[in-house]
A = this chain, B = another copy of it.
Amino acid sequence: MASNRGVVYMGPGKVEVKNLDFPKLIDPRGNKADHGAILKIVTTNICGSDQHIYHGRFAAPVGMQLGHEMTGEVIEVGRDVQFIHVGDLCSVPFNVSCGRCRNCKERHTEVCMNVNPEVDCGAYGFNLGDWQGGQSEYLMVPYADWNLLKFPDKDQAMSKIRDLTLLSDILPTGFHGCIEARVGSGSTVYIAGAGPVGRCAAASARFLGASCIIVGDRNQERLDLVKKAGYEIVDTRKDTPVADQIEAILGEREVDSGVDCVGLEAHGYGREDGEEHSEAILNTLFEVVRAGGAMGIPGIYTDADPEAKTDMAKQGLLPLAFSKAWIKSPSLTAGQAPIMKYNRQLMMAILWDRMPYLSEVANTEIISLDQAPEAYRIFSDGSPKKFVIDPHGSVKQAA
């Protein structure tokens, strides 16, 4: 049990599976972490934000262990852990949070003030506090009583693991994007991006009662998947402006809510010139979200982008159509999702079969740890799959 292996970032376009130290109850600053637990990983997904790192767009040190979407079984707990026990099967929110600072108390676990000395935000497998990534066999989770979401029944959970594995990040992230965009009963919604987060946002919008749900992308396979699952689509490769495409679907040029599930690596949007236009999604949302509507921006933007294309981008600036939109009373909320605010509720919905449409759009594929580097490549090429690493073969065994 003392061995461990995991996915390591070796520079832009390169990840490798390497031998790693077995995790200890020690935090990245070298302090004893009696509040922590060690998990044997059951599933650990590859995320679009891993791709930003893989593309060299979100600065990370070579040698950093990747992965932040983990589900696992507790095999050891620190002495300060009271309510989580060895044997519990748990979902790990990708945000690392302490449960003791002002922001955590106010349910803003995505901007915890205690887990990263550099900025009020911590995450596993990112350059955000040096918390070890979890695309590996084992992982240390700090503040385990606070952070871990225990599944009530292990067998039941294993039987729904393809959906439950999404609780660590992309389902609550898509859901949060919808919540911040004020998607609710009867809303009309435009979701930018048909990647895994965009597809989870589409399912979340449906779960939240949205009426017309439109997903935009430039990847045919992803559009086909989304269309087949019962959502409307906009093809952003086309010259036809998004508003015109929306009008053809809805009879109106504007929607109530807009969700950005793309972030800074945007292409297309009427300028299919092969170039990236980082501002394209936001400016499209400013245009197609109606007066008094709202936008949620879980898609990642950063000024820590070594590959920023323009002088403005290097300073973390974007040319935004804010002045033009002002008369429409625009409202937007950006940033990472505070997973803990949503994961228990979404778990309940999955356990009671209230999102029967989730699996189809999630489109997960279970792979081994050794297949991870290949999956990074395929995903980068625009695969409509969501890759889920099963490092111990637990899912295969359960099935």
A: residues with CB less than 8 A from B are 34-35, 79-80, 82-83, 98-103, 105-108, 110-111, 114, 119-121, 145-146, 152, 175, 180, 184-188, 206-212, 251, 264, 278, 282-283, 290-292, 297, 300-303, 305, 312-313, 315-336, 340, 342, 344-349, 351-352, 354
Q: Is the CB of B80 within 8 A of A34?
A: yes
Contact of A335 among B320, B327, B333, B346 (CB under 8 A): B327
Q: Is the CB of A186 within 8 A of B349?
A: yes
Contact of A209 among B101, B114, B207, B323 (CB under 8 A): B207
Q: Is the CB of B100 within 8 A of A100?
A: no
Q: Is the CB of A83 within 8 A of B100?
A: yes
| Complexed CA–CA distance, A320 and B312 (Å) | 9
Contact of A323 among B83, B103, B302 (CB under 8 A): B302
Q: Which residues of B contact A334 (CB under 8 A)?
A: 322, 325-326, 329-331
Contact of A321 among B146, B211, B292, B315 (CB under 8 A): B315
Residue in B closest to A145 when the chains form the complex, CB atoms:
B100
Contact of A292 among B111, B146, B302 (CB under 8 A): B111
| Complexed CA–CA distance, A119 and B291 (Å) | 9
Contact A331/B332 with A340-B105, A346-B185 known, Cβ cut-off 8 Å: yes
Q: Which residues of B contact A321 (CB under 8 A)?
A: 303, 315-317
- Chain B proximity of A221: nearest CB distance (Å): 25
- Chain B proximity of A389: nearest CB distance (Å): 26
Can you offer 6 A-B residue contacts whose CB atoms are under 8 A?
Answer: A82-B100, A103-B292, A108-B292, A120-B328, A186-B345, A331-B334
- Chain B proximity of A197: nearest CB distance (Å): 15
- A-B interface, 7 closest residue pairs, ranked by CB to CB distance from nearest: A316-B324, A329-B335, A186-B345, A186-B348, A111-B291, A211-B352, A211-B348
Q: Is the CB of A322 within 8 A of B320?
A: yes
Q: Is the CB of B264 within 8 A of A323?
A: yes
Q: Which residues of B contact A100 (CB under 8 A)?
A: 82-83, 99, 145-146
Residue with the highest number of chain B CB atoms closer than 10 Å, among A208, A290, A331: A331
Q: Is the CB of A209 within 8 A of B211?
A: no
Q: Which residues of B contact A207 (CB under 8 A)?
A: 185, 209
Known contacts A83-B114, A100-B146, A330-B333, then 14 further A-B pairs from the complex at CB < 8 Å, ordered by chain A residue: A82-B114, A108-B329, A175-B185, A185-B208, A186-B344, A209-B354, A301-B326, A302-B326, A317-B321, A317-B322, A318-B322, A318-B323, A329-B335, A331-B333
Contact of A317 among B114, B292, B320 (CB under 8 A): B320
Contact A83/B111 with A209-B207, A329-B335 known, Cβ cut-off 8 Å: no
Q: Which residues of B contact A322 (CB under 8 A)?
A: 282, 301, 316-318, 320, 334
Q: Is the CB of A324 within 8 A of B349?
A: no
Residue in B closest to A146 when the chains form the complex, CB atoms:
B100
